Structure 1
Amino acid sequence: MIPVTIEFPVSGWWLARNSPARGVPSHGSHLLGTTYAVDLVGVESDGSSAPLSWRSAFWREEPEFFPGFGRAVTAPCEGLVVDVHDGEVDHAARRSQLTLAAYILGQGGRYRRGGVRAITGNTVSLRRRDGLVVSVCHLRRGSVAVQAGDWVRVGERLGECGNSGNSTQPHVHVQVTDGIDWENCRGLPMAFRRPRGTSWMPTENEVFEA
C-alpha cells in the first residue's frame, strides 16, 4: 500500500518513537487506528528530551521540564476539522522505570474508565479532500486553536505539544486513518514530505530536524 504523504506537524529537533519503520503495528496494536502511527518527542539538538535528575530515575516529572512541551503543532495537511477535543490535563511525565511500568500496565484500566479520550488526550483530526483523516494527539491542555468545521491549510497552528492522554512524556502522536470512528477506524501507512518531493518516515530513536 502506498503511504499517504503529509507534512511534519512540528519544527525543530525531534526524536521518533514507536516508528512504523521499525515494525507494524507500530504501537503494538491495531486499536484506535494506531497501526502505522508514530510518536514525535521534542528534544534538544543533542537528542536529549530533558536533563537527567533523581526524579527522572525514581519518580515523576513535571511536563514543563521537557523541551518539547508547548512547542507549536501545525496542520500536516489541508483539510476540514472533523474531530477536536481539549480539556484533558497534562499529567506528570514518567521516565523512571519504577513509575513507567505501573503506568503502562494501567493503560487498559484508563481506557475502560475514561474511554477514547483517556488514550488520545487533546486531539485535532483533519479530513483531507480524499476523505482520509490525519490526527495529532496528546496536545497541551488549553492550546487547541481550531474548532470543528474549520478549514485549515498546511502549516496553520492547531495547538501545542502536550502530555495529555496515554503519554509518558510530552510528545505528538501522528496517524492517518480511513475515518474518525476511533474504535473502528483503520490505520493507514504514512510518510512525511521532505525537500525535492521525497517522502520519509524516521526510524526508531532517530533524532532529526523537521
Structure 2
Amino acid sequence: MAADTLLPGNYLPSACPGIVVVHKSHPRIHGVLPVPEEEDVEAEFQWDPQSKVFTVVNATCYPCYTYLTFLGTDVRDRRGRQFEAGTTRSESGEEQPATTFVVVAAPLTAVRLGFVEVGPPADFFGIPLERLVEPGPPASGLPSLLPGPQEVPGFCFPLPASDGPYLCTQGVGGHLTHFFPESYYAIDLRCRNGTPVLSIADGIVKEVAESHKCGGIHAANLAAWNSVTVILDCGFIVDYLHTLPGSARFKAGDVVRQGQVLCESGDIGFAPEPHLHIELHDSNDADGPSLPLSFGHGRCAFVPVAGRWYSPDGEASPPPGTESVGLHEDLQLEPPPQRDFRDSRRSKTGRRTVRFGSFALKRKWTLARQSADCKPSSTRSSGDSAASEHTLQACPAEASGGECGREGLVCDGDAVRKSRPHSSGFFPGGSP
C-alpha cells in the first residue's frame, strides 16, 4: 500500500468477516430513505412482511448508531446476494454463524439494510439507537500535571518485536468500533492468541477483568470483553482489551514497569479475529473520551494506520508472502438507490414492526430503557390481523444481564406467535 493511501473509514474490512459497516450508506444495502419530520415513527427497527426488508429508522434530528446481529438466518443485499456470515462464540464455547451490521444513520433517514426471511430459527439482537457525539478537540481533558505544552507523550509499543510485525486493522476514528468519543483514538493490532502484551509505561494496575470466554461478532459481546487497566505514572490510564482469561501476570494494586508482560492477547468480546485493542484516557475521567495515543518518542513517534504493518520501531515491511491490502469489493459498487420513506411503507398487508431487546454496555453505552417492562405493547388492529403492528419492548432483567422467564412475541410470516422464554437481550431466546 502506498504511504499516502488510507483505507476508507480507517479500518480493514478483511479483518472483520461477517460484519457490514454502514456509515450513513453502503453500496450493497437496499437504500437510504428520507424520513419526513412530521412522520410518526414508533420503532427504530422495522421489518416489512411484504418486501421482507429490514430497516433501521432514525427519526431524530441528530446522527445515531446501532449494532445489530442476525443469527440463524440469511441476510441478502439489493441484488439478492447473501451478505457474508462470520462466527460468534458463546461463553460455553459454542460457535454459530452470524451477520452483524454496524449502522450510523444520518438524521431523519431510514436505512434499508437487507432482505430477511423473519421466522424460526432466526434470532436477533439489536442495541437501541444511540446518539452519535462528535469527538472533542484532541487536547481536551489532558492532565494538568504534564509539563510544557499539553500534548500526549509517545509510549512503548505494546507488543514484542519478536512476534512482529503487526498489522493495524483499525486506527483513529475507525468505522468498526472507534467512531465515538470513548474509543475514537484507540488502536487495533492483529496478533495471534497468546501474544505477550507489554506495559507501555510505568504505572499501577487498576483493574483486571478476565472472566469472559465469548468472542466473535455478536453485538452483545461489546459488553463482555476482558481487559487489563493500568494507571500510568504520567497521569493517564490505559486499557488493554480482548485479553485471554487467566493470562494476567499482575493484580490490582501491583506496580508495573515499562516493557513488562501484563497478560496475553486474545479474541475475547467483540473480536472478529484475535487482536489487541489499546486506548488511552485521562486518569480522572476513565469513562470519558479517549486521548490521542502514539508510540515511540520525538521525531520517531508514530500512530498506526489501518492496513499498514508496525514494529516497535515504527512502520515496517509486510512479512514475506503477505497479501497486499486493497479496497474491499463492497466499496467498488455503485451507491444504493434513494427513495421516499413513505413509499417504502406502502403495503397491501400492512407492515409489522419489531423492536429488539436492549443490553447494558460496560463503559460504552448507558443502560437503555430501564423503565420498559417485559410485556409486548398493545396490539392495534387496522382491520386485519395480518396488518396489525407489534412491538417487542426491552426487558429490564435482560438489560442488567439477567434472565427473564416471561414470554415475548416473534413475527413468523404473517402470524404472530409466542416465543420461548428469552434471555440476554434476544427475541426469541438464546445466549450470545
TM range (shorter): 0.5 to 0.7
Does residue 188 of structure 1 match 2:337?
A: no
Aligned match of 2:229:
125
Q: Decide whether the 8 Å contact of 1:82 with 1:149 is kept in 2.
A: yes
CA distance in 1, matches of 2:200, 2:302: 14
Of 187, 190, 195, 1:41 maps to 190
1:25–1:7 Cα change, 3 Å: farther
Q: Which amino acid aligns with 2:158?
A: P
Aligned match of 1:62:
none
Aligned match of 2:425:
none
Does residue 15 of structure 1 match 2:167?
A: yes
TM superposition shift of 1:202: 1.7
Structure of greater Rg: 2
1:25–1:190 Cα change, 3 Å: farther
CA distance in 2, matches of 1:4, 1:72: 23
Aligned match of 2:213:
89
Does residue 200 of structure 1 match 2:349?
A: no
Aligned match of 1:76:
200
The CA RMSD over aligned residues, in Å, is 2.4
Q: Which amino acid aligns with 1:164?
A: I
**CA deviation digits over 1:152-199, x for unaligned, max 9?**
0001111111011111110000110113866x32200110016x7621
Percent identity for Structure 1 against Structure 2: 26
Structure 1 unaligned regions, length at least 5:
43-67, 94-102
Q: Decide whether the 8 Å contact of 1:90 with 1:141 is kept in 2.
A: no
Aligned match of 2:240:
136
1:163–1:110 Cα change, 3 Å: closer
Q: Which amino acid aligns with 2:303?
A: M
TM superposition shift of 1:90: 5.2
**CA deviation digits over 1:23-72, x for unaligned, max 9?**
69971222xx3120000102xxxxxxxxxxxxxxxxxxxxxxxxx11111
Equivalent pairs, count = 160
1:70–1:28 Cα change, 3 Å: same
Q: Which amino acid aligns with 1:3?
A: V
Q: Decide whether the 8 Å contact of 2:154 with 2:293 is kept in 1.
A: yes
SS where residue 242 of structure 2 aligns? strand
Q: Decide whether the 8 Å contact of 1:25 with 1:35 is kept in 2.
A: no
1:197–1:189 Cα change, 3 Å: same
**TM-score, normalised on structure 2?**
0.34
TM superposition shift of 1:135: 1.3
1:141–1:180 Cα change, 3 Å: farther
Aligned match of 1:65:
none
CA distance in 2, matches of 1:154, 1:192: 13
Q: Structure 2 matches for 1:150-165, cutoff 5 A?
A: 150-165=254-269
**TM-score, normalised on structure 1?**
0.68
Structure 2 unaligned regions, length at least 5:
1-138, 140-150, 313-432
CA distance in 2, matches of 1:35, 1:160: 24
CA distance in 2, matches of 1:128, 1:18: 24
Q: Decide whether the 8 Å contact of 2:202 with 2:257 is kept in 1.
A: yes
Ranked by relative contact order (alpha carbons within 8 Å, sequence separation 6 or more), the top structure is 1
Q: Which amino acid aligns with 2:170?
A: N
